[in-house]
Amino acid sequence: MQRLWRNGKADNLRALLSSLHLILWKETNWKPVGLTDLVLDKKVKIIYMKAVAKTHPDKISNDATTEQKLIAQGVFVTLNQAWDKFKQMNNIQ
């Protein structure tokens, strides 16, 4: 499932964030984000920060299944790698 989510867009933070609702489970309460919400770099950072807060290993509910924990871990790592590339490409400190 994670491979399908990041396939072809692992380096594209905007695409990852705009499709995050397809991989996260209902209990995360993640609201879909449109690409139009991700035009400004500042807005990308805000949504990225919300996404990593939802998927951080220390923030996952104890009630989460093993599969959900693995999904969250993979999403967290993928988003962090994409964020590093996004910062580099957009000269963000």
For the stretch 1-23, pLDDT in tens is 778 898 889 899 999 999 999 99
Q: What is the mean pLDDT of the chain?
A: 94
Q: Is the pTM of this model over 0.75?
A: yes
Per cent of the chain over pLDDT 70 is 100
- Determine the 3-state secondary structure of 53 from DSSP: helix
Asked whether the predicted pLDDT for residue 25 surpasses 80, the reply is yes
What proportions of the chain, in percent to the nearest 5, are helix, strand and coil? 65, 0, 35
Residue with tokens 């790592």: 77
pLDDT at 4: 87
